[in-house]
Structure 1
């Protein structure tokens, strides 16, 4: 997988790209992570990438020309790389070009899993008041938001998305089952975890986890995931894939909760 981030502040990305799971994935060759300063494509002597909005109003708007030029540069680069590869019989893969903005679709684990299947992602990170609308209409394939609030730029949201996508790549995590059991991956919140010591300050690990009976432990973990989701994110239960046994367990948990609240 190749990921390019178009930004005015590449230094915000480079530190993250070289750290923890992202850094290890890049070192292993699982993912190529690149920060591209689109100011380099301004095309004017002042290197300006923004201008005042037509029609008036406060703030500055990112101009379309440096963004288009930066994306076209990345595409030409990937095309050249593909042309030198032995397997480059087919044309280069068309990337997903993602605009990070508050108006975009709210990001979630399902979108992460979808993007993790792609071979090339390009993120556009803006600053100032907003983007020239022609960037939205004629360049990007996706618009994403990480929540209903506004940040000073798109770098932090883009890095959030990138982290969640890269960790889903085969070989990125030390334990391949970790991503499968994460919260939201199964449609539910994840069950609680414990490790040594078995007792800490009088708080004990549940007996079930010490039993060594793996089948019963899996049943316990599923029930805990259902209970935690019911308590904290009941909205997830509306779309979660639940077995007949899950539904019976959930009904029992709901009845128990109702009794405890009386």
Structure 2
């Protein structure tokens, strides 16, 4: 995968793209990153990329010319037509299925905004996807882009050491992930559930499914809305509801 990032502050990405999973993914050749300051594409004699909004109002708005020219230049370096992603608090909420979808692409271009916003011709006529990582506003789109890129890159083949890790992550199955334990089995009197020490993999898998379902019911019941429950999950749901009523 080739990922281009257009930002006014490319130095923000230095540590993130070279560290941890993303750094290893790059070393393995699973992904290549290029961060470009789109100010270098402006034709404005004052090197500006923003201007006052028509009609008045607070703040500055990013002009279309630098970003259109930057994206058009980036497109030429991709073998296939890349998805162009705009980070914006007005975008649709970014979710795990979006990361899984984007991980199938050969190329992505991320546009990180700043100031009051974008000229509306950018989201309407340039980008293919507009995403938000939450109902809050940040200074710029760099941190949002980092979060999305991390969630995408870790899904690329060969990036994670254990290929089942991404499959069982929270949200990948529609449920939150089950609890995890490691050594020692008894820490200050706090013991690991006996089932995990039993060696019975079938029972362990059932326990993990049950605890995953319980955690989702307790913490994110909204994720169960519209879920087609198995017979076992229906029984667990009835049990959890009875326990909650007591």
Correspondences of 1:45-84 after superposition (within 5 Å): 45-78=45-78
Correspondences of 1:131-146 after superposition (within 5 Å): 131-146=118-133
Instruction: Tell me the distance in 1 between the aligned counterparts of 2:29 and 2:198.
Output: 41
Instruction: Tell me the distance in 1 between the aligned counterparts of 2:32 and 2:214.
Output: 39
1:99 to 86, 91, 102: 86
Instruction: Tell me the distance in 2 between the aligned counterparts of 1:75 and 1:114.
Output: 20
Runs of 4+ in 1 over 3 A off after TM superposition: none
Unaligned runs of 5+ in 1: 79-91
Give the length in aligned residue pairs.
246
Deviations 1:37-73 (A, max 9, x none): 1011012332210011111111100000000111011
TM-score, normalised by the number of residues in structure 1:
0.91
Distance change >3 Å, CA 33–CA 239, structure 1 → 2 = farther
Q: Note if contact 1:110-1:185 (Cα within 8 Å) is conserved in structure 2.
A: yes
2:173 to 179, 183, 186: 186
Q: Does 1:126 align with 2:122?
A: no
Measure how far apart 1:111 and its partner are. Answer: 1.0
Instruction: Tell me the distance in 2 between the aligned counterparts of 1:118 and 1:251.
Output: 41
Correspondences of 1:1-262 after superposition (within 5 Å): 1-78=1-78, 92-259=79-246
Instruction: Tell me the distance in 2 between the aligned counterparts of 1:71 and 1:164.
Output: 23
Q: Give the secondary structure class of the aligned counterpart of 2:76.
A: helix
Q: Note if contact 1:188-1:240 (Cα within 8 Å) is conserved in structure 2.
A: no
Measure how far apart 1:31 and its partner are. Answer: 0.7
Measure how far apart 1:131 and its partner are. Answer: 0.2
Q: Note if contact 1:109-1:185 (Cα within 8 Å) is conserved in structure 2.
A: yes
Instruction: Tell me the distance in 2 between the aligned counterparts of 1:167 and 1:77.
Output: 23
Q: Give the secondary structure class of the aligned counterpart of 2:77.
A: helix
Instruction: Tell me the distance in 1 between the aligned counterparts of 2:107 and 2:182.
Output: 38
Instruction: Tell me the distance in 2 between the aligned counterparts of 1:76 and 1:124.
Output: 16
Q: Note if contact 1:4-1:33 (Cα within 8 Å) is conserved in structure 2.
A: yes
Deviations 1:210-244 (A, max 9, x none): 11111000000011011111110011011334322
Instruction: Tell me the distance in 1 between the aligned counterparts of 2:80 and 2:8.
Output: 26
Instruction: Tell me the distance in 2 between the aligned counterparts of 1:223 and 1:246.
Output: 8
Distance change >3 Å, CA 239–CA 116, structure 1 → 2 = farther
